[in-house]
Structures are given as structure tokens and as C-alpha cells.
Amino acid sequence: MTTSLHPKIVSRDELQRRVAAWRRAGDRVTLANGCFDVLHVGHVRYLHIARELGGKLIVAVNADASVRALKGEGRPVMPADERAEILASLADVDAVVVFPETDVRAIIREVRPDFHAKGTDYNADTVPERDEVEACGGRVVIVGDPKDHSATEIIARLRRKS
């Protein structure tokens, strides 16, 4: 991954320092995560509603290898550093971190978010990291509009046209 000059894109160590400073200032912390391979309106709405939970919004972005593990060969179509930079440019986002794992359990342990925002393709019982969030004293919140937008579907549609 190339180094971004965007100040919102941080390492995991820097993220922990920022979270500590935010907590000292009395801010709550919300964590959202995903591949964000092709940013679409569903992503924007998900992040906006996650931000409305209050406090600071961290977006954890799957690294390229973990996207491939989750989505298959040919993915991602956009490299992690570019996906991170696009997300960092959104006003609702306070920090972006790229992570190599296929789920965010380790980041949850590192930052102990007050809220873990997941999209409407989940419910409270199907969030893979729910146990970790609750063990860290946080709460899983399902946010966003109905799952009728999909990067996978957009990519498939574009590939069929070419």
C-alpha cells in the first residue's frame, strides 16, 4: 500500500493514540468496516447514519488480500490505498485504517468502540464480531438503508457490459 498524505488515514498505532485523545475529550467512538470496493450510495448512507450515533467515526477498510479472501478472485477492483483515500475524504469520517484480517475483531479489541455499526445486510444476531464488541463493553447497531445497493452487483453489471 502506498503512503497517503491524507491525515485521516492512519496506522493502527496512530488510531489507538487518536482514540485515547478522543476519549480524554469525552467523545464516543463508532467503528464501521467493510471492503468498500466501489463506493456507492448505500455506503455513503451507512456511514452517515453511523456518524449520527455521535462522537467520532472510524472506518476500517479490508486490505486487498482480505477482500480477495472474502469476495474471490478479481476483487478488489480498486486498491486499498485508493479506497481508504476516498473514504477519508467524506465529511462524516474521522479516521480510516486499513486492516489485513477478514474481520475486525482485533481492531475492536484495540479501540473498544462504544458502537460497532453494521449495514442492514446483518441483524444483531448475525454480526460476526458481536461477541467481541460486547466483551469490550460496546454495542452493535444496525444502520443504513435497505441492502439494495451492492458493489458486487455493480461490478458484475459493468463486467457484463464490457
Instruction: Please tell me the predicted confidence (pLDDT) of residue 1.
Output: 44
Residue that has been written with the C-alpha cell 458502537 in this structure = 115
Q: What is the pTM of this model?
A: 0.88
Residues 57 and 92: their CA atoms lie apart, in Å, by: 7
Q: Is the dihedral of CA 140, 46, 48, 82 positive or negative?
A: positive
Give the mean pLDDT of 7-23.
98
Give me the pLDDT at residue 82, please.
96
Can you give the pLDDT at residue 121? 87
What is the band of 84 on the pLDDT scale with cuts at 50, 70, 90?
Answer: very high
Segment (H or E) for 45: helix 41-51
Give the pLDDT mean for 67-76.
Answer: 93
Sequence-separated (6 or more) residues with CB below 8 Å from residue 52: none
129-156, pLDDT tens digit by residue?
999 999 999 999 999 876 666 655 655 6
Kindly report each contact of residues 83-88 with a partner whose C-beta sits within 8 Å and lies 24 or more positions away, as own/partner.
Answer: 83/35, 83/36, 83/37, 83/39, 84/4, 84/6, 84/9, 85/4, 85/6, 85/9, 86/36, 86/39, 87/36, 87/39, 87/47, 87/59, 87/61, 88/4, 88/6, 88/8, 88/9
In the prediction, which pLDDT does 2 show?
A: 45
- Give the pLDDT of residue 149: 62
Residue 161 — very low, low, confident or very high, per pLDDT cuts 50/70/90? confident
By the 10 Å C-beta count (0-12 exposed, 13-18 middle, 19+ buried), 79 is classed as middle
